Amino acid sequence: MSLKPKLSYFNYRGSAEPIRYLLAYGNIEYEDCRFADEEFPKLKPTFPYGQVPVLEIKGKMIPQTLAICRYLAKQSGLYGKDDFEAMQIDAVADAIIDLRNAVWLAYWITPEDERAPLVEKLTKETLPFYLSRFEKAIRENNGYFVNGNISYADIVLAGQLESLSDSTKYDITDGYPLIKALVKKVENLPRIKAWIEKRPKTDG
Amino acid sequence: MSLKPKLSYFNYRGSAEPIRYLLAYGNIEYEDCRFADEEFPKLKPTFPYGQVPVLEIKGKMIPQTLAICRYLAKQSGLYGKDDFEAMQIDAVADAIIDLRNAVWLAYWITPEDERAPLVEKLTKETLPFYLSRFEKAIRENNGYFVNGNISYADIVLAGQLESLSDSTKYDITDGYPLIKALVKKVENLPRIKAWIEKRPKTDG
């Protein structure tokens, strides 16, 4: 059993980048294991629920982006000052993942010839719905999602939105200055900034 | 501001029942606010992300089933003995909600005339995929999901699966004796048993 955690994902930022941001933030050494798209069918049965990202740590394969992010958040003091704040942070993180899932469904999971109505609904309804609520939450909480302090929800936002914009082919944060500012703040955290500079360049 | 938490949901077990189970388990008094289906469009804009269940507590409206469940779990000692165990519990809970979302999509969210292929995929692939993995996890962990101890993931399973079977119109746990046994164990916890006996009878 390796003591260094191993993160398995496609060679994209995608759903894994929030985890990579949190690993960078926590200064945790890990193996950033990336496989080619065409290898996934072969690897799929080796993952607990056939999904990635998976973090292999202390001899266990752990699936689910947010379960992993929350664990890393706890190691780095990014999970609020008490259980009540933690619940609010968790609720935002879940909403970000709901939005991500809607983008993945419209742009990737649905067969190509059936995507158009989903993309239209996403662009006209789902994205503005979530993003305007994120913007409002950040306005009401002094530049972060919850109670004016950085939490893992802020890191998940920054780590996730860029790859959603790669899918839509336009910057989904245009028109949401407070979201943009929060993302920028996270990207400028020294260890995350260093990660962004050295990470593999990928198109999603 | 009322000190008693208020849970808002449709007059179904549905996505709210895991929360109601955890409220019962924790012996927490709350207002079980149920609205008729036709009231939802009017109420929707009053909920943070237009979704229910929502728990109003300490003056805040908190959405997201699992954010709420995790908070309640922490109050009742159902969140594992350490962060590593908590991560495994969270990952299972997320998988249960992924399965729930697939059932809701196939049976409720998709327009009725487009449901057939989704229902077929759900029945033939998605349900057996998740349920066989749940069965295996319970086998490997002495009758519970994680490390032989009860956690909120077990309660979420029991609180959620029954309403999924209401959607499919057959008992989705048939053929999975360890899932059945775990659900039964949870249903027989005295406070949850008392809740099941007194709760409103609803068809979902």
B27 and B111 in a single domain? The answer is no
Instruction: Tell me the CA distances in angstroms from A98 to A198, B25, B65, B123, B204, one per residue in order.
Output: 29, 28, 12, 23, 23
Q: pLDDT at position B82, please?
A: 98
Q: pLDDT at position B35, please?
A: 98
B20 and B87 in a single domain? The answer is no
Residue B102 placed within a domain: yes
* Chain A residues closer than 8 Å to B49 by CB: 95, 98, 129-130, 133
Residue A175 placed within a domain: yes
B92 and B26 in a single domain? The answer is no
Residue A142 placed within a domain: yes
Q: What is the pLDDT of residues A50-81, one digit of tens each?
A: 999 999 999 999 999 999 999 999 999 999 99
B46 and B99 in a single domain? The answer is no
CATH code for position A158: 1.20.1050.10
Residue B1 placed within a domain: no
Residue A129 placed within a domain: yes
pLDDT-based confidence at residue A2 (cuts at 50, 70, 90): low
Q: pLDDT at position A131, please?
A: 98
Q: What is the pLDDT of residues A111-122, one digit of tens each?
A: 999 999 999 999
Cβ separation A71–B94 shorter than 8 A: no
Residues 6+ apart with CB under 8 A from A43: A8, A35
When CB atoms are compared, the residue of A70, A87, A130 closest to B68 is A87
Reported ipTM: the value is 0.96
Cβ separation A48–B133 shorter than 8 A: yes
A59 and A148 in a single domain? The answer is no
C-alpha B143 chain-centroid distance: 19
A87 and A68 in a single domain? The answer is no
Question: Is the pLDDT at B1 greater than 80, yes or no?
Answer: no
In angstroms, the CA B81 to CA B190 distance is 23
A141 and A90 in a single domain? The answer is yes
Residue A1 placed within a domain: no
A57 and A123 in a single domain? The answer is no
A87-105: average pLDDT:
97
B120 and B182 in a single domain? The answer is yes
* Chain B residues closer than 8 Å to A60 by CB: 88
Share of chain A above pLDDT 70, in %: 99
* Chain A residues closer than 8 Å to B63 by CB: 91, 94-95
Q: What is the pLDDT of residues A135-146, one digit of tens each?
A: 999 999 999 999
Cβ separation B71–A49 shorter than 8 A: no
CATH code for position A35: 3.40.30.10
In angstroms, the CA A4 to CA A31 distance is 7
Residues 6+ apart with CB under 8 A from B126: B99, B102
* Chain B residues closer than 8 Å to A151 by CB: none
Q: pLDDT at position B3, please?
A: 77
Residue in A with minimal Cα distance to B79: A83
- Residues of chain A whose beta carbon is less than 8 angstroms from a beta carbon of chain B are 48-50, 57-58, 60, 62-64, 66-68, 70-71, 74-75, 83-84, 86-88, 90-91, 93-95, 98, 129-130, 133
Residue in B with minimal Cα distance to A75: B83
Q: What is the pLDDT of residues B7-51, one digit of tens each?
A: 999 999 999 999 999 999 999 999 999 999 999 999 999 999 999
A69 and A101 in a single domain? The answer is no
C-alpha B174 chain-centroid distance: 19
* Nearest Cα residue to B47 out of B68, B60, B61: B61
Q: What is the pLDDT of residues B169-200, one digit of tens each?
A: 999 999 999 999 999 999 999 999 999 999 99
When CB atoms are compared, the residue of B48, B62, B95 closest to A64 is B95
Range of the domain at B41: 6-76+191-198
A111 and A156 in a single domain? The answer is yes
> Both tokens of residue A77?
């003091």
A13 and A104 in a single domain? The answer is no
Q: What is the pLDDT of residues B69-122, one digit of tens each?
A: 999 999 999 999 999 999 999 999 999 999 999 999 999 998 999 999 999 999
What domain count does chain B have?
A: 2
Q: pLDDT at position B14, please?
A: 96
